[in-house]
């Protein structure tokens, strides 16, 4: 008998019919004798509908009130799924994040989980109930409802699996596993049987939308076996694990991630003095804006040009902060570009193979794609290019690293 945490995303619970299908799936696991905790998202489109309502009242809704509002989406789903299970003679009980007491910090709309009180859940499991928990939400020390940011239900699922020491955390979604890249962009993309936490972390952070990055971080930190599965098709999915042995026999590159939601800001003519990077990025960080890639060029006249990328949603906010900074430190000008994208190659095999970056640059050069920024780590190389070349770049790299062929499926 295993303890399994199952998470179903918005499309998996997008209608009453689909909620009934999820209930059938959960019932089958229950009949096998497994203890089940189910984490669900809001029905697809519901969170967007709630945010749109809020924006009809205010262009910039107060984050605390926005959390109160959007957290209701999951509350509807947990109750419906619990009802569907009970109808099938499967004892079930639903809980919001605050009822479980998923304790978070107070960073509204992007809170982080600090602690989970698992006593209530364990008591229910012991009594033979399926526990249905609202994903994406928690409560802070003051009792305020918080949400974990987009995709936060994945994080809820993994965090609960870690707290309960579950045998596996299964993430059910509208894809049947983790692919070498987005199959909508590259039709020859392949499903991976297995991928390491490290590779998945890079893929998630670089724009692969299959899993939220914090969910992968959590899973890696607490060694929670994570499996990505299709909600309504049978199959083994992709197992995300600590084990690197098999991956080392796989190709150098496991996958290609990309992100369209990028924007670039440049501040030119900055006096090149010690601490200049902090003067520029400190205020950006204070505005709760995450910076991704950074490039600094020092000119002959003792000034520096400083370029960095942010999420496109943060572009205007970052630009306003940077304009103020430019005035304060005597910089020449601020410019920006929202028509960029990031493409990354990822693989633990890079550690034991030289020349991976040059092979990437050669593939892009053959397609006359100009590279604007480069960032590397032990198992990834990322480049910023013009957005219009994104799909061409991904296809070219997928072929260049021989990910198109069935031999590299990892089967």
pLDDT band at 183 (very low <50, low <70, confident <90, very high): confident
Residues contacting 67, CB < 8 A, separation 6+: 108, 109, 137, 144, 145, 146, 147
The mean per-residue pLDDT over the stretch 399-404 comes to: 91
Cα dihedral across residues 263, 269, 270, 272: positive or negative: positive
Gap between the Cα atoms of 229 and 216, Å rounded = 15
How much is the pLDDT for 232? 87
pTM over 0.85: no
pLDDT band at 247 (very low <50, low <70, confident <90, very high): very low
Domain boundaries, the chain: 3-174
Average pLDDT, the chain: 91
209 is in an annotated binding site: yes
The end-to-end CA distance of the chain, in Å, is: 27
Gap between the Cα atoms of 46 and 74, Å rounded = 9
The mean per-residue pLDDT over the stretch 180-197 comes to: 90
Under 8 Å between Cβ of 267 and 305: yes
pLDDT band at 205 (very low <50, low <70, confident <90, very high): confident
152 is in an annotated binding site: no
Gap between the Cα atoms of 289 and 171, Å rounded = 28
410 is in an annotated binding site: no
Consecutive H or E run containing 93:
strand 92-95
174 is in an annotated binding site: yes
47 is in an annotated binding site: yes
59 is in an annotated binding site: no
74 is in an annotated binding site: yes
Paired with 383 in beta bridges are: 343, 374
Residues contacting 245, CB < 8 A, separation 6+: none
- Return the beta strands (E) in 251-350 as ranges: 255-271, 291-298, 303-311, 333-346
pLDDT at 410 over 60: no
How much is the pLDDT for 379? 92
Residues contacting 72, CB < 8 A, separation 6+: 50
Question: Percentage of the chain surpassing pLDDT 90?
Answer: 75
The mean per-residue pLDDT over the stretch 117-130 comes to: 96
How much is the pLDDT for 218? 86
- DSSP for 326-394? HHHHT-SEEEEEEEEEEEEEE-GGGGG-S-HHHHHHHHHHHTTPPP-EEEEETTEEEEEEEGGGHHHHH
Encode pLDDT of 329-371 as tens digits. 999 999 999 999 999 999 988 887 888 999 999 999 999 999 9
Sheet containing strand 380-386, strands side by side: 291-298, 303-311, 255-271, 333-346, 380-386, 373-377
Paired with 92 in beta bridges are: 130
10 is in an annotated binding site: yes
For 98, the 3-state DSSP assignment is: helix
CA 125 to chain CA centroid, nearest Å: 29
How much is the pLDDT for 206? 66
9 is in an annotated binding site: yes
CATH 3.40.1160.10 fits 3-174, yes or no: yes
Gap between the Cα atoms of 294 and 266, Å rounded = 10
168 is in an annotated binding site: no
For 132, the 3-state DSSP assignment is: strand
pLDDT band at 304 (very low <50, low <70, confident <90, very high): very high
How much is the pLDDT for 184? 86
How much is the pLDDT for 300? 82
7 is in an annotated binding site: yes
pLDDT band at 284 (very low <50, low <70, confident <90, very high): very high
Find the farthest-apart pair of alpha carbons in the chain and give their distance in angstroms, rounded.
Answer: 77
Under 8 Å between Cβ of 187 and 165: no
Gap between the Cα atoms of 258 and 3, Å rounded = 35
Gap between the Cα atoms of 333 and 327, Å rounded = 9
156 is in an annotated binding site: no
Cα dihedral across residues 319, 323, 329, 335: positive or negative: positive
The mean per-residue pLDDT over the stretch 159-179 comes to: 92
Please name which of 149, 145, 92, 143 lies closest in space to residue 121, comparing C-alpha atoms: 92
Under 8 Å between Cβ of 157 and 39: yes
């Amino acid at each position: 008998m295993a303890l399994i945490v199952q998470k179903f995303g918005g499309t998996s619970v997008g209608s009453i019919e689909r909620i009934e299908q999820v209930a059938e799936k959960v019932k089958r696991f229950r009949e096998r004798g497994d203890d089940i905790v189910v984490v669900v998202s809001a029905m697809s489109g519901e969170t967007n509908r709630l945010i749109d309502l809020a924006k009809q009242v205010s262009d910039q809704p107060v984050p605390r009130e926005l959390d109160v509002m959007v957290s209701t989406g999951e509350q509807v789903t947990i109750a419906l799924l619990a009802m569907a299970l009970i109808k099938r003679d499967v004892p079930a009980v639903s809980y919001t994040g605050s009822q479980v007491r998923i304790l978070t910090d107070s960073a509204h709309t992007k809170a982080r989980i600090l602690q989970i009180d698992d006593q209530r859940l364990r008591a229910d499991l012991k009594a033979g109930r399926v526990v249905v928990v609202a994903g994406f939400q928690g409560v802070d020390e003051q009792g305020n409802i918080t949400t974990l940011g987009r995709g936060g239900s994945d994080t809820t699922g993994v965090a609960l699996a870690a707290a309960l020491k579950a045998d596996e955390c299964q993430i059910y979604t509208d894809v049947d596993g983790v692919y070498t890249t987005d199959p909508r962009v590259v039709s020859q993309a392949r499903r991976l049987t297995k991928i390491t936490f490290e590779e998945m972390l890079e893929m998630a952070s670089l724009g692969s939308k299959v899993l939220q990055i914090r969910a992968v971080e959590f899973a890696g930190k607490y060694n929670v076996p994570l499996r990505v599965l299709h909600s309504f098709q049978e199959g083994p999915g992709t197992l995300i694990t600590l084990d690197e042995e098999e991956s080392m026999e796989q190709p150098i590159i496991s996958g290609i991630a990309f992100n369209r939601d990028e924007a670039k800001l440049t501040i030119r003519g900055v006096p090149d003095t010690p601490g200049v990077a902090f003067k520029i990025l400190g205020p950006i960080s204070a505005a709760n804006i995450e910076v991704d890639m950074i490039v600094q060029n020092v000119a002959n006249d003792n000034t520096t040009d400083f370029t960095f990328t942010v999420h496109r949603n943060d572009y205007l906010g970052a630009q306003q902060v940077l304009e103020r900074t430019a005035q304060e430190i005597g910089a020449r000008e601020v410019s920006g570009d929202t028509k960029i994208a990031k493409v990354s190659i990822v693989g633990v095999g890079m550690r034991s193979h030289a020349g991976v970056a040059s092979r990437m640059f050669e593939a892009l050069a053959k397609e006359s794609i100009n590279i604007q920024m480069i960032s590397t780590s032990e198992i990834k190389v990322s480049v910023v290019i013009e957005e219009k070349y994104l799909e061409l770049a991904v296809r070219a790299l997928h072929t260049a690293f021989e990910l198109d062929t069935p031999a590299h499926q990892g089967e």
